[in-house]
Structure 1
Amino acid sequence: MQPSPQDELESIIKAASFAARKHRTQRRKDADASPYINHPLALAEILCSEGSVTDSTVLVAALLHDTVEDTETSLQELEVEFGSVVASVVAEVTDDKSLPKEERKRLQVAKAASKSDAAKLVKLADKISNLRDIASSPPASWSDERRIAYFNWARDVVSGLRGVNPALERVFDQVYDEGLRAIRSAA
């Protein structure tokens, strides 16, 4: 049975509230130390507003995408609260923190093309959001070279996600080009 629009809306609001509780003590690495919850909310907004994504599973997974990786949340907890499909999408976009950072980055590039469409959408929105943040308000300790390296790595990840949402891919390309120009011109 298909969930009703009311059920889908309730699930999205529940996920936003859940993510806000889980990320409540976390801050972003930008100069303002923005509340972390701004990031998952940005993903949902990018998907809906710029990618015309209305699939509640994708929007819920976007809101929850960092809970397992960055908080004391388990995939089992997500499955109980939001179902196995959402938990599966979150699992696809969750890095294994037991691996070294460079290996996690390599695996994101290597596995991008084999992800489900839902996971590709979440990952694409994540890269758009991250590039915007790094272009406009990067972590204080990041040099221009590190910012450019992140942009290029994100481009490599997104190359494996292409074909899932042309509108979001155009947004990524625009954010990538404008962000690199801004970083290089400030250097």
Structure 2
Amino acid sequence: MSISKAIEFSAKAHEGHFRKGSQVPYITHPFEVAKILGEAVDPEENEALIIAGLLHDTVEDTDTSLDTIRREFGDVVADLVASDSENKRLPWEARKQHTIDFLKNEATRDMQMLACADKLANLRSVKADYARIGEDVWDIFVRGKEKQAWYYQGVLDALAPLEGLAMYQELKSLVTEIFD
């Protein structure tokens, strides 16, 4: 297992993909998630979490299978990636409710940290996009501001055990700033 291998793997998997509503290469998101996690844990002690941050969207958003992640990076990384991957065949509300329930009732601390870093990186992007295009930012999403607010508040509540972490505090601040 190595972070550099995960960087190469993720960059190749997301090649040609862009962030919603922009021309920003998608790989910037997994890199940011890994950076947030690297600031929260010792990368040498929790390399699997950093790697999962780099790979967290490969199964959900590319043709990469969970079996490939398991084979290339091991069970711990694969389980973390699986925990942050949604079943896109389900309706939006069902997917989001499942995520909230899972984070609250079943997720390990590392799974919660991965989700927190992912959601924080997403809301940082929303804040930047809002500064650039205002209320039109909500047109980028499958559901508008009201549903996004419901989702992010639910995630925030589910992640309350992480309250002592700087990334949780920043997420909490952004949820308030963006949705209140």
TM-score where L is the length of structure 2: 0.85
- Distance 1:159-1:119 versus aligned 2 partners, 3 A rule: same
- The answer for the alignment partner of 1:78 in structure 2 is 69
Contact 2:156–2:172 (CA<8 Å) still a contact in 1? no
Shift of 1:42: 0.7
CA deviation profile, 1:106-144 (whole Å, cap 9, x unmatched) = 111111121111111110011111111112115956259
Question: 5 Å matches for 1:10-159?
Answer: 11-30=2-21, 32-49=22-39, 51-54=40-43, 55-113=46-104, 114-137=106-129, 142-143=138-139, 146-159=144-157
- The answer for the alignment partner of 2:175 in structure 1 is 176
Indicate the percent of aligned positions where both proteins have the same amino acid: 32
Higher mean C-alpha deviation, range 171-180 or range 86-95:
171-180
- Distance 1:109-1:38 versus aligned 2 partners, 3 A rule: same
CA RMSD of aligned residues (A): 2.2
- The answer for the alignment partner of 1:184 in structure 2 is none
Residue type matched to 1:15 in 2?
A
- The answer for the alignment partner of 1:160 in structure 2 is 158
Residue type matched to 1:123 in 2?
A
TM-score where L is the length of structure 1: 0.82
In terms of Rg, which structure is larger? 1
* d(CA) in 2 for partners of 1:170, 1:46: 12
Residue type matched to 1:116 in 2?
T
Q: Give the 4+ runs in structure 1 shifted more than 4 A.
A: 138-141
Unaligned runs of 5+ in 2: none
Residue type matched to 1:93 in 2?
D
Higher mean C-alpha deviation, range 143-152 or range 168-177:
143-152
* d(CA) in 2 for partners of 1:18, 1:56: 15
Shift of 1:172: 1.0
Q: How many residues are treated as equivalent by the alignment?
A: 170
CA deviation profile, 1:63-110 (whole Å, cap 9, x unmatched) = 100000000001110011101111011111110112111210111111
Shift of 1:178: 2.9
Partner of 1:163, secondary structure, is helix
Contact 1:57–1:85 (CA<8 Å) still a contact in 2? yes
